[in-house]
Every structure is written in C-alpha cells, then in structure tokens.
Structure 1
C-alpha cells in the first residue's frame, strides 16, 4: 500500500525544511560570534555558497548573461538588499538572542505587502491594512524602544528587515526571462565580492576544526534553504504553503534555548505571537481574495 502525498502537503514539508535550514544556518553563524570576524565569516561562507550556486546554475543551463535590460537594474537592487541584510542581520544576530532576531524577521511578509501597495499600487483592503498595523505593534513589543535591555542591535535587526524588503520587492518585479538560479548566483557572488573587499580592514584569524565545521555547516544549510525555497515555489498553492514559513520561529526558540540558553521574555513572546497571527490572517485573506477572482473569471 502506497500513500499519496498531495502537492500542498509536499509544499508545506519543503517550506518547513527550508525554514529549518535557514535557522540552523543562523545558529551555526551565531556560534561563531567572537571567534571569527564577521567579514571573514561572510567571505568564507560566500565562497562556498557561490561555488555551489554557480555549479547548480550551470547544470540547469541558467549560467548566462542573457538578461533583459530591465532586469539588470533590479538584480543590482537585489544585490544591495542582500548585502545590507547580511551585514545588519548578522551583526544583530551576534549580539541578540536568536529567537528575538528571528521574531523581528517574521514581520517581513507584512512589510513586503505594505510596500508593494505603496510603491507598485497593488490593491490592499482595510482588513489587511489592519493586520499589518497590528503586526507592527507586535514588532514594537519585541523591540520595546526605551525599555530596559533595548540596544542598537534591535535597530540593526529592523534595518535588516528593510533591506530584505528591498531584496524581495526587486525579486518580485523580475521577469520570467531571468532564471532564478542565475539571480541566486549573482547575489551570492556580489555578497562575497563586497565583503571580500571589506575584509581587508580586519585581521583574519586562523580557524580551528570546530570553527571550520561550523562555517561548512552554515554554508550547507543556507544553500539547502535556497534550494528548498525554490522547490517550494513549484509545488502546492502558495497561499496554503506560505504560513508554514513561521515554523522558523519555533526552530529559533528551540535552538536558542538548547544551544545558547536564551529564552525570550513574556512580552517578546506576546509580540511574536501577534506578528505571526497578523501574518497568517493576511495570507488567509489573500487566499480568499484570490479564490473570489478565480470564481469571477469562470
């Protein structure tokens, strides 16, 4: 007897796998804090991810420069977004609990939807606007500006979200003529090149066996996350699969507790729950609207 798995179930599993891989990458990177300079770490991880994505793009026939002129500027914007996000996110990660940084990052779908409405004129009803505003209130509970324990690294985490929004909005505007793996390769290459130049300003340190394994693990997890996230786009309904991205917060809470002994304060957990709840409601609302549009077209 064989069990058939629906596309939605397969997509949900892939999404959860992707979030687990990205969170494990964050865990490995955070474990290197104080051991390896950030720029050195980004270069070493970047070399590995660039080689991997380059080989994968080549095997898929995507390694070429036949990119529409309109997409070239968008790819440059995506590179800037990735570079800024890498610096600010990892600096925050080095200095904040894993779960706190991850919780702030969960506001990304809300902000991408808001910015798409502001800059691209995408429709946005009052229910989703309300969900976004409530979600941003949840972010404020996590960050708590002015409260004891607030520091500049909370601001760094918010800045990293802004750069990720730039990256995702640029990606959204790319045409179908530009292969996804080519974009991934160009992005990883640009990150490696930028931080390679920046790394001449810091003293590199020799790596011991543990640090080497952590960097290899981080590179493997981040590329695994990329591959799984690409596979997610090809199976199941996005409106069904997308909410499973919030399982990354569960991974962050678990790994932060077991690996680093960190557990967020109650207000942080409440804020994270508000952000996740707002995001899930917004995705549910988008699914309802898409179904109505399909019914009208029939």
Structure 2
C-alpha cells in the first residue's frame, strides 16, 4: 500500500491541541500516529523546537506519516510499534519522559475503506483485520481454530452480541465443511443465523461480530489498559494525556483509569484516618466526555462516535 493511498481524517483536532497545549521545546508521544494529521498540528504548535515521537502498528500509516511529517525533519521520529510498548521504545531513543501523550484509538478511515484489510463487509475480501499486517493471527485464523465457547465469549464481551452462542455454533458447524475465509462469507453466515437477519435495519446484523473479531485479533482493550498505565509513568509532572475512544468498551477503561488515578485516598469511608497512602497522580481536565461538534460530524461522519478525555500529571 503506497503512502499516497492512505487516507485518515484526524478527529477533534482543535480539542486535541487545546488539551495538549503544545509549547516550544516540549516532547510529545503520538502513540497512534495514523496518517500524521494530529502529529503535524502538534509539531506546528510546538515550533520551533518541539519534538514528537510517533508510533503506529500499521506500516501503511507510517509510510503516509513519514511523507506528511518530512518537512519537520529531525523534530519528528517515527517508529513501527504498539503504543503499549512505549516504555520500551522511548528509552531506546534517549527519551525518559514526555510532556504530552495522544492516543487516537480504533481503526482509521483508510483501514475501514481498504477492502483488502478485511475490516468491513462492504466488499467480499480476505478476513484479515490485523492492524499490523506483519504479525499475528488473522480473523480467519481465529474463526478456524477457536472453540465455540471461545468464539461466543469474543462476540459477547467485545461486541455485546445478543446471539453470540448461536453464531459461534454455526461457525464451528460450517467450518467442518469449508473454511470461512472472506468477509462476505462471515457476513452472510451471521445474517442467516440471527433472527430477522434479512429485515431492513439501521445496521447490518454482522456489525457487532466484525467489531468483536477486530478487537480480539488486535488485542485492542488489553493494549488500551497497558498503554494508559505505562503512559502515565512516561509523563513529566504537568504533562497532559489525551485519549480519543470510538466505542464504549475503550472509553470505560479510560474513564475508570482516570478516576482511579485522580483519587487521593481509596480507604473505606468508615476508617477514621487514611491507611492506604495513595496520592492522586492525575488531575482530570475533562469533567465530562468531549464529543465532536455537529459541524465536524457533517464533514466526517465517523467522528460521531468519538469520545475525548484528558488528564494532567500531578507533581
């Protein structure tokens, strides 16, 4: 995939800059670089000598970002990697702490639109779904090897699919005759399995199954939890963390983490004094979740589901 073919619209760019508040001389981590849109804005706002380290699991994203950020020269350092591994990658670059962290979670516009990636069932394509196409199991591998119980758990936990068990059993029965290798095969199977699958509906009945498989294949929720935990330790005092989520499971992890880290004491209320010794590490900057404006949603419909939360590292 050439860099020129990669397309990704950065969500809530004004809000990201407002909460990150980049200044000259500061160092930032963009853990989900994508096409480099947010990173470009951060580097512009932190001129003349702000620096940015950009990570992404998708080689196509890195290729595009390297073009977009080329004018910034050595101020932008890009690496192929998962943001959950930032605590290992940054020291290798001589960076111990950063002034700001951005995580724009989920899949990019390009990944959804690129038929060969298998994230969508708009066209019949290989069931891949990997953000990092160089490693790991594909969605087809999971459907071929996982038990009915495991598949049902995936669909239920990650997709909140009502008919998870029925769909899982149908997959296991079908694969004894022929493997499920394409998005069209899986979408048709789900539609044939769930009650009312052929009735006109606002969303296709396979939508939740595809979401669940994508989350499982990429270990997305585990990486969110690991990434924000490690990101907190990488922030300098006063450093800002901004996280954009696109579904409730991700947002719940971020919200609860911020709340826990903003507490100074977690002792039971009946204790007359604090014995836990916990000190608040974060100040929450977004009292309520921030959402995209109607104007932005009109230009970029995928921004409708975006939720932004921000926090500042305390001394």
Shorter-normalised TM range:
under 0.3
Structure number with higher helix proportion: 1
TM-score normalised to structure 1 length: 0.24
Higher strand share: 2
Structure of higher CA gyration radius: 2
The structure showing larger relative contact order (alpha-carbon pairs under 8 Å, at least 6 residues apart) is 1
TM normalised by structure 2 equals 0.23
